[in-house]
Amino acid sequence: MRMRTVLPLGTLLLAMVGCAGQQTPVTAPVTTTQASNAPAWVDNEEIPDGLAAVGIAQANVMGDKGLQRSTAIADARTKLAGKLKVRVQSMFSQLNQQVSEAALEKNGKPVRTEVMNRVIENVTRQVVNQELAGTNTRGVWTDPGDGSLYVFVVMTKDSMDQALAASAKAQIKKEIAQGEQSLNTALDKLDAAIAASDKQAAAAN
């Protein structure tokens, strides 16, 4: 009696497993933006000619479209600030390596860490403030599903490079005037560092 009870249950379990194995895998639910034919930049904000970010703001209870747009733009600019800081860090990583190597070959005195950190901090603050003020909105889209507003905010590569070069040169000259002679070669190598960081950013995209 026990054997007759076990065998049907085992057969039933095997049959259930077999049926489950033939079922079509469950796919992840489609996002609202994809289902609503959102523009391509909503899901891919990278651009070849600069930095870009998508800001999002939910519909507010007052139905204030102006406030919603301002909130979305502020969100995009916050994200852009983070990207721009990474861009500045990348440029200075290239520059610091070049300058340190040149300084060691010439007089054995590399650029002091605290000096380079001070330059990076000042340049980052200036460039972020300047470039965020010069951003432009390249696209706007409202999700018909939930009323969320998406804005596509960009800053151009040329504008970034000019701001980086101008701010970095000013800060480097200031440090040289204060006696940091190991930075003398930095001005000659700055353009190469910016170009190298451009290539690195392009490769990451």
Distance CA 171, CA 155 (A): 23
- 95 located within any domain: yes
What pLDDT, on the 0 to 100 scale, is given for residue 21?
Answer: 44
In sequence order, what E strands does the chain have?
A: 50-57, 136-142, 149-156
pTM: 0.74
Alpha carbon 202 to its chain centroid, in Å, reads: 12
**Tokens linked to 57:** 């703001």
Q: Using CA atoms, how far apart are residues 154 and 46, in angstroms rounded to an integer? A: 10
Instruction: Answer whether residue 6 is part of any domain.
Output: no
Residue 203 lies inside a defined structural domain of this protein: no
Q: Is the residue at 42 inside a domain?
A: yes
Quick check: 19 pLDDT over 60?
no
| Residues ≥6 apart with Cβ < 8 Å to 200 | 90, 94
Q: What does the pLDDT read at residue 96? A: 82
158-192 pLDDT tens trace: 999 999 999 999 999 999 898 887 788 888 889 98
**2 domain-assigned:** no
Using CA atoms of 125, 130, 136, 140 in order, give the dihedral in degrees to the nearest 10: 30
What's the rounded Cα separation, in Å, for the pair 57 and 153? 14
Enclosing domain of residue 184:
35-198
Number of compact structural domains in the chain: 1
Round to the nearest angstrom and report the end-to-end CA distance of the chain.
68
Cite the beta strand spans of 75-161 per DSSP E.
136-142, 149-156
Indicate whether 27 belongs to any domain.
no
Residue 173: what pLDDT?
Answer: 93
pLDDT digits (tens, 9 = 90+) for 68-103: 999 999 999 999 999 999 999 999 888 888 877 766
What CATH number did the domain enclosing 86 receive?
A: 3.10.129
Q: What percent of the chain has pLDDT over 90?
A: 42
Mean pLDDT of the residues in the chain: 80
In a domain, 28, yes or no: no
Give the contacts of 123 (CB within 8 A, at least 6 positions apart): 88, 92, 164, 167, 168, 171
Q: What is the pLDDT of residue 41?
A: 95
Residue 59 lies in a domain: yes
